[in-house]
Amino acid sequence: MQAEYVIVGAGSAGCAMAYRLAEAGKKVIVIEHGGTDAGPFIQMPAALSYPMNMKTYDWGFMTEPEPHLGGRTLVTPRGKVIGGSSSINGMVYVRGHARDFDHWAEQGADGWSYADVLPYFKRQESWHDGGHGGDSDWRGSDGPLHVTRGPRKNPLFHAFVEAGQQAGYPVTGDYNGQQQEGFGPMEQTVWQGRRWSAANAYVRPAQKTGNCEVVRAFARKVVIEDGRATGVEVERGGKIEVIKAQGEVIIAASSINSPKLLMLSGIGPAAHLKEHGIEVVADRAGVGQNLQDHLEVYMQYASKQPITLFRYWNLFWKGVLGAQWLFTKKGLGASNQFESAAFIRSREGIEYPDIQYHFLPIAVRYDGQAAAEGHGFQAHVGPMRSPSRGEITLKSSDPKEAPRIFFNYMSTDQDWEDFRTCLRLTREIFAQDAFEPFVKHEIQPGVNYQSDDELDDFIREHAESAYHPCGTCRMGRADDPTAVVDPEMRVIGVEGLRLADSSVFPRITNGNLNAPSIMVGEKASDHILGRKLPRANEGPWINPDWETSQR
């Protein structure tokens, strides 16, 4: 088996690259270990808590015990299915803040500033505002990825935005447009009632060109001959074989599996590779380092009125809504229920938002367990730019063994200070008049948690990953010893090998990572094809009083 380009991983970035390369007439093979994404658990937006907890669709990774979170081990879901994590995620669409990408460029990712990436965000989108306003000049209208907004029928979605306004924060009609900062509608990758994953947006159209084939196989390592990647060794149907690349091998296997695959192929920190008896092809100290994520807590409130989604939280109603969705693709099943959002700054002197909110009109856990109080609602909140850094390392040289995942969450004083600020600012929002008709009492953490120590105890016990791991194969200048790929996505020190997914982020972006991961795939495909979209001229809105005020 061979093709011009062999891509490892049919996730957000891999699917985008497969489509753009196939569209340009290149022959592409995409290697994906997971199987089909057909079936209601993945395609029905409201069922999002299911695929994330199903072994069929998830790699099932766990972290090492996290010392600053009381030794807890946390689940680290990654999609093992066509579409990758875009097939099991919460479908929230956030590009990231303009300044995130400007920071990338400052860190040596030349050509990746906001002006450089905005045209790719536009190219990937078909944006539908649903009559809710927004910045059409900043958005794309004919890309493969449909981006929509939920109907926001529940009064709680509006109470959340109104409360933000009453607390003195701006309102934004489009956090993916000129102004991220503020309270407003949340966007989702849902189209005509279905999850619009990278599989639906990119891989199916790629396969229709006749130039792209998806092969179900387990990638063991990149085959490197005389310093050049020539193919990928895979296991398929119990046999080990090599899928050859005439042009290039492209790794897009996730921020967990991409560094693992590089290390198994002899690319990584030399001492660590030798420890596992792996021959060193390229000594790259940065492989597996710089691991970042977003942590969040769920602030939950009991509701005075029975208007939350809790009334549907039983078998009868789940059956009714499921049937309605199956036959009409409409109703509550057609949304992820994250329909209002906010991005705010934690204090004065911070130039752009460093706190994100997802608002949900039910009090429930990610694994689908509803709060004991019944009717309630919640805000997911957490800091966006934690200074903590972790690492991905090998446990052994066996490709079948999961890597060692250590985030080192909450390892700095700044983390704790930022998180406490999140909790206190959130309480202030829910204390506004807009919530007076709805808030009965605080369920979690509960009013007993007030002092720094009490809040710290709550965070230690209840902080959860938002499932945004990234940064483990950082992009930078070719002479940067900590960089793994150059700004053209070429793995430094090996010919014919590129890597493009959320691993290349020098620093985590504001918000959920599916949108910027797809953008990386879109832009990487142009680097591979030797082309480039012209830079954008639009500049983001930055709060004019950011130096002196928090809102």
Phi, psi angle pair for 292, to nearest 5°: -130, 165
Q: Cα separations (Å) of 257 from 392, 401, 469?
A: 9, 11, 11
Q: Round to whole Å and give the CA distance between 158 and 141.
A: 27
Total length of the chain: 551
Q: Round to whole Å and give the CA distance between 160 and 429.
A: 8
Helix H, strand E, coil C: the string for 141-178 is CCCCEEEEECCCCCHHHHHHHHHHHHCCCCECCCCCCC
The DSSP call for residue 472 is: T
Q: Cα separations (Å) of 377 from 154, 344, 380?
A: 11, 20, 10
Question: Which residues lie closer than 8 Å to 218 by C-beta, 6 or more apart?
Answer: 33, 234, 235, 236, 399, 400
Residue 350 CB-density burial (10 A; 0-12 exposed, 13-18 middle, 19+ buried): middle
Q: Round to whole Å and give the CA distance between 154 and 171.
A: 18
Q: Check 33, 97, 146, 468 and give the catalytic one.
A: 468
3 state DSSP class of 16: helix
Tell me the H-state helices in 250-333.
Answer: 254-264, 270-275, 315-328
Q: Round to whole Å and give the CA distance between 343 and 336.
A: 19
Percent composition of the chain: helix, strand, coil (DSSP 3-state, to 5): 30, 25, 45
Concerning whether 468 is annotated as a catalytic residue, the answer is yes
What positions carry a catalytic annotation? 468
